[in-house]
């Protein structure tokens, strides 16, 4: 079977209706035409296209032509689509779904906060958000520390799905710059930058990082606090806790602010996979 031919045949609306009709029982060409409210010559052309694609069989019984679905052809088509579905990486699909749901939930929360600010709950017009995430990683704290402070290793995981790291500046030294440039598949680039505020090697890292708009101005400010500790009862493992405090005074910052939690969730998923692969 030519799978593309079969998809093109069944994808035409009238032909799909014919397939649904024949799923109930075989019909004569005339019965199919009557059910469609179409002329028989037009119906015949549709049936010939479905037959050529291997989806129906037409039987000549005397003067009657009876049409039925070709079970083998449909099973072949279904098997091809099932094979495509089975090849999808589950973890990537799950990450994208969590990212999408997370943005929707965060956007709703931000909308409520913006309404409160407009009503005078925050007269300065500053929209604030705090995100707290945690993971238990199969590596000791000193190795996880390197994953955050070595730019070469950070560049391996510091990008959400379908982004690539163009450049990365990470450090564990207070005062050093933090800078990340990401690129989407269409070539669009996104930059964030800041600096390391405080560091206790292997334990605590605090840094500021702000995403920049197209003109290079900060969309909003974030302070990120990373805490690492040995996982209790699990030798050689690390309990990671990350707190992100964000503040935005620009209305156009809401979408990016909404993406903080799902975005960092996806990043930490990437870090976890990197650790499990032994690359950290």
pLDDT tens string, the chain, 280 residues long: the values are 899 999 999 999 999 999 999 999 999 999 999 999 999 999 999 999 999 999 999 998 878 899 999 999 999 999 999 988 887 766 656 656 666 666 666 566 666 665 665 555 444 456 778 899 999 999 999 999 999 999 999 999 998 877 899 999 999 999 999 999 999 888 889 999 999 999 999 999 999 999 998 889 998 899 999 999 998 777 789 999 999 999 877 767 777 777 788 889 889 999 999 998 888 8
Token pair, residue 225, equals: 């606090």
Q: Under a CB-based contact definition with an 8 Å cutoff, are residues 194 and 177 in contact?
A: yes
**C-alpha span between 270 and 272 (Å, rounded):** 5
In a 3-state reduction of DSSP, which class is residue 77?
Answer: helix
Which long-range contacts (C-beta less than 8 Å, at least 24 apart) are formed by 249-254?
A: 249/124, 249/125, 249/126, 249/127, 249/220, 250/219, 250/220, 251/114, 252/213, 252/219, 253/127, 253/219, 253/220, 254/107, 254/110, 254/111, 254/114, 254/127
Work out whether strand 56-61 and strand 27-28 pair parallel, antiparallel, or are unpaired.
unpaired
* Residue 265 host element (H or E): helix 260-276
Residue 181: predicted pLDDT: 96
To which CATH superfamily is domain 90-276 assigned? Answer: START domain (3.30.530.20)
In a 3-state reduction of DSSP, which class is residue 199?
Answer: strand
CATH 3.30.530.20 domain extents, the chain: 90-276
The CATH number of 3-87 is 1.10.10.10
Query: By C-alpha distance, which of 144, 199, 143, 192 is closest to 173?
Result: 199
Query: By C-alpha distance, which of 263, 265, 154 is closest to 211?
Result: 263
**C-alpha span between 230 and 270 (Å, rounded):** 20
CATH 1.10.10.10 domain extents, the chain: 3-87
Residue 168: predicted pLDDT: 96
205 burial (CB, 10 Å; 0-12 / 13-18 / 19+) is: buried
């Amino acid at each position: 079977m030519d799978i593309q031919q079969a998809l093109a045949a069944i994808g035409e609306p009238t032909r799909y209706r014919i397939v649904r009709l024949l799923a109930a029982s075989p019909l004569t060409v005339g019965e199919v035409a009557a059910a469609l409210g179409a002329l028989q010559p037009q119906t015949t052309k549709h049936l010939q296209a479905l037959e050529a694609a291997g989806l129906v069989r037409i039987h000549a019984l005397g003067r009657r032509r009876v049409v039925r679905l070709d079970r083998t052809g449909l099973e072949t088509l279904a098997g091809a689509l099932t094979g495509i579905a089975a090849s999808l990486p589950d973890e990537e699909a799950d990450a994208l779904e969590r990212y999408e749901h997370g943005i929707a939930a965060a956007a709703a929360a931000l909308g409520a906060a913006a309404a409160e600010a407009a009503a005078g709950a925050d007269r300065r017009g500053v929209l604030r958000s705090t995100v707290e995430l945690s993971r238990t990683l199969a590596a000791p704290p000193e190795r996880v520390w390197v994953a955050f402070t070595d730019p070469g290793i950070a560049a391996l995981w510091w990008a959400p799905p379908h982004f690539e790291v163009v450049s990365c500046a990470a450090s564990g030294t207070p005062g050093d710059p933090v800078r990340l440039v990401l690129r989407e598949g269409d070539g669009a680039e996104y930059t964030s930058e800041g600096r390391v505020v405080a560091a206790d090697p292997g334990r605590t890292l605090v840094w500021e990082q702000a995403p920049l708009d197209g003109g290079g101005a900060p969309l909003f400010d974030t302070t990120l606090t990373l805490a690492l500790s040995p996982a209790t009862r699990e030798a050689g493992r690390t309990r990671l806790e990350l707190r992100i405090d964000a503040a935005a005074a620009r209305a156009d910052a809401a979408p990016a602010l909404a993406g903080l939690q799902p975005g960092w969730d996806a990043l930490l998923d990437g870090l976890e996979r990197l650790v499990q692969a032994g690359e950290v």
